[in-house]
């Protein structure tokens, strides 16, 4: 049969897929074959709610989009090329139709639609992997001797799927509302994209040595405990966890005071836990470019460099961050100035008596200690500041 004689599943004549001729005969085909395992197929049908019906070309044609655009959407969502295997469902056609419809209506540009597909795919891929590796794996222990894990999986997924789906939509809406609120409070339109934020890295000290000493399970538990503690503290105190990198987390906050509190809480939490290594934190304040939930720019690079030179169980900040803390009255310009203010207030109180109305002495939350200037690779000479709680030794 020639390519021109190809027919669809219902016997209708179909146009040839132009991508069939795009690959020279000597190149290796790296497409992934869809599974034919019976249980895997049953689980797929349960989760997707539909049977395999279309090849990628048929799905693109049914959705009314080009094969090229359909392939770019598919790859952006993080799925492997499957050649022309019949593995797609009505849901895949609907997703293509929705994305292309947003482009046709002028609501999204084509690059933006690809970015929507990529950001959604990357985020949900990580979530799905975690749920399978940790959540479902722990719940599918065979309850009776002789039963296999796979025999338990299907009814469990059947029960959990609708609940997890509702919960996912709820959390997404909540996060979307919070993100929208932050954007509309921006001072001007430029701040919606390039914003002034406090960006911090928290890094476990000596993690590489730990990987050689601990068993894999112990190391996994340590990383999970670290990431959970960081995520909880960052969220509880008004920051945003941007991403985790095993032994390091990246977080951001809209103001320096919030970031300072998060950083010190992280150090205190790790210090109080005897099972955790020492922690070091670096924070910088300045203009940050945000893309797909991540942050980029010189401010982020500076925070990373400060983390690498920070002492153990300490927080190192840049000059802009220190200046922002003093501007908002959360840290004194210097300890000498703070001491002078306290002495002047005490002197006024002594002169005017206990009943006199005297302006209160500023109560600073944080203290800043200047450190030696030093060259930082790629960023020139910087003067870091050591951040601590006011009055802490």
In this prediction, residues 116-131 reach a mean pLDDT of 86
Q: Please, which pLDDT band fits residue 257 given cuts at 50, 70 and 90?
A: very high
Which single residue is written with the structure tokens 């105190």? Answer: 237
Chain centre to alpha carbon of residue 199: 13
- Among 70-84, 96-110, 189-203, which stretch is predicted with the lowest mean pLDDT? 189-203
Cα–Cα distances (Å) from 254 to 307, 320, 332, in that order, read 20, 14, 21
Give the pLDDT score at 166. 92
- Among 109-113, 167-171, 288-292, 356-360, which stretch is predicted with the lowest mean pLDDT? 356-360
User: Which residues in the chain belong to E strands, given as ranges?
Assistant: 194-204, 240-244, 248-253, 279-291, 294-296, 314-317, 366-370, 374-376, 380-382, 385-389
Give the pLDDT score at 14. 42
Chain centre to alpha carbon of residue 172: 13
Residue 163 in contact with residue 227, Cβ under 8 Å? no
The residue that leads in pLDDT, 152 or 141, is: 152
Q: Please, which pLDDT band fits residue 298 given cuts at 50, 70 and 90?
A: very high
In this prediction, residues 90-100 reach a mean pLDDT of 92
Cα–Cα distances (Å) from 249 to 2, 36, 92, 282, 285, in that order, read 55, 39, 35, 11, 17
Question: Does residue 17 register a pLDDT over 70?
Answer: no
Give the pLDDT score at 340. 65
Beta strands 240-244 and 248-253, pairing class: antiparallel
Give the pLDDT score at 385. 95
Question: Does residue 348 register a pLDDT over 70?
Answer: no
Question: Does residue 26 register a pLDDT over 60?
Answer: no
SS3 203: strand
In this prediction, residues 254-278 reach a mean pLDDT of 94
C-alpha span between 252 and 234 (Å, rounded) = 9
- Among 80-89, 96-105, 258-267, which stretch is predicted with the lowest mean pLDDT? 80-89
Other residues' Cβ atoms within 10 Å of the Cβ of residue 391: 9
Give the pLDDT score at 24. 39
Q: What is the mean pLDDT of the chain?
A: 81
Picking from 308, 306, 307, 288, the residue whose alpha carbon sits closest to that of residue 297 is 288
Question: Does residue 20 register a pLDDT over 50?
Answer: no
The pTM assigned to this predicted structure is 0.66
């Amino acid at each position: 049969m020639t390519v021109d004689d190809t027919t669809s599943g219902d016997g209708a004549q179909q146009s040839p897929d132009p991508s069939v001729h795009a690959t020279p005969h000597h190149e290796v085909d790296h497409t992934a074959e869809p599974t034919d395992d019976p249980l895997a197929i049953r689980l797929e049908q349960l989760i997707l709610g539909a049977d395999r019906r279309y090849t990628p070309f048929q799905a693109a044609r049914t959705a009314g989009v080009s094969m090229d655009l359909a392939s770019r959407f598919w790859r952006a969502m993080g799925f492997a090329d499957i050649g022309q295997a019949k593995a797609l469902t009505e849901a895949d056609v609907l997703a293509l139709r929705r994305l292309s419809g947003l482009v046709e209506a002028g609501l999204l540009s084509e690059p933006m639609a690809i970015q929507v597909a990529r950001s959604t795919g990357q985020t949900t891929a990580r979530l799905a992997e975690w749920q399978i590796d940790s959540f479902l794996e722990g719940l599918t222990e065979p309850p009776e001797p002789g039963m296999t894990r796979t025999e338990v999986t299907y009814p469990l997924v059947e029960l959990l799927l609708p609940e997890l789906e509702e919960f996912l939509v709820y959390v997404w809406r909540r996060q979307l509302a919070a993100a929208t609120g932050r954007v509309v409070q921006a001072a001007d339109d430029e701040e919606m994209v390039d914003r002034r934020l406090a960006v911090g890295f928290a890094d476990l000290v000596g993690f590489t040595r730990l990987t050689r000493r601990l068993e894999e399970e112990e190391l996994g538990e340590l990383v999970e405990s670290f990431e959970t503690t960081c995520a909880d503290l960052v969220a509880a105190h008004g920051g945003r966890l941007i991403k985790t990198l095993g032994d390091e987390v990246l977080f951001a906050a809209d103001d320096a005071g919030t970031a300072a509190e998060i950083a010190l809480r992280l150090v205190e939490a790790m210090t109080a836990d005897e099972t955790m290594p020492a922690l070091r934190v670096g924070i910088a304040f300045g203009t940050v470019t945000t893309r797909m939930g991540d942050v980029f720019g010189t401010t982020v690079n500076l925070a990373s460099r400060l983390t690498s030179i920070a002492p153990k169980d300490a927080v190192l900040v840049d000059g802009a961050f220190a200046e922002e803390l003093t501007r908002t009255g959360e840290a004194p310009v210097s300890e000498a100035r703070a001491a002078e203010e306290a002495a002047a207030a005490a002197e006024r109180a002594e002169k005017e008596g206990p009943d006199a109305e005297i302006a209160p002495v500023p109560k600073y939350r944080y203290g800043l200690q200047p450190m030696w200037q030093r060259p930082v690779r790629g960023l020139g000479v910087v003067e870091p500041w050591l951040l601590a709680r006011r009055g802490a030794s």
